[in-house]
Amino acid sequence: MQKLDMSSDEFLVTLEKTKKFTDKVNKQFGWVYNPNEDVNEGVIMGLARHKMLYGKRFCPCFMVLEDEDGKHVSADDRTCPCPPAIEKEIPEEGKCHCGIFCTPEYAATHDH
């Protein structure tokens, strides 16, 4: 497991870029953040961490594996925003597996 200094300037810049990225995803799909801020903060930190460690925003709720060529890949095709969330989870359940992205209807009826 690689170590990462989460108080470094590099991580803080990546964290800010990741927040802008999740803002953009919400806007693009018409989603909103989870009403529970702790969920959003944890997922954004996990996405930023994966971006720094692996170069991609792999979903922090799923394993990151190495393929036969030693390249990092996400289990179950979970690179944010992931196809399973876009195609199935959000339309059917109102939120993605991690819970950061929600439909406005889900967010309105699930406070904290």
pLDDT, position 7: 86
Query: Range of 90's domain?
Result: 26-109
Residue 5 lies in a domain: no
**Average pLDDT for residues 46-70, to the nearest whole number?**
92
- pTM, two decimal places: 0.91
- Residue 32 maps to a domain: yes
CB 27 within 8 A of CB 64: no
**Domain CATH code at residue 97:** 3.90.460.10
pLDDT of residue 93: 97
Any domain includes 8: no
List Cβ neighbours of 82 (8 Å cut-off, separation of 6 or more). Answer: 59, 74, 76, 96
Domain total of the chain: 1
Domain contains 47: yes
- Residue 3 in any domain: the answer is no
With respect to residue 17, please indicate whether it lies within any of the assigned structural domains.
Answer: no
Orientation of helix 9-29 relative to helix 37-54, angle to 10°: 120
The average pLDDT across 36-49 equals: 96
Mention every residue, 6+ apart, whose C-beta is less than 8 A from residue 15. Answer: 44, 45, 48
State yes or no: pLDDT of 112 exceeds 60.
Answer: no
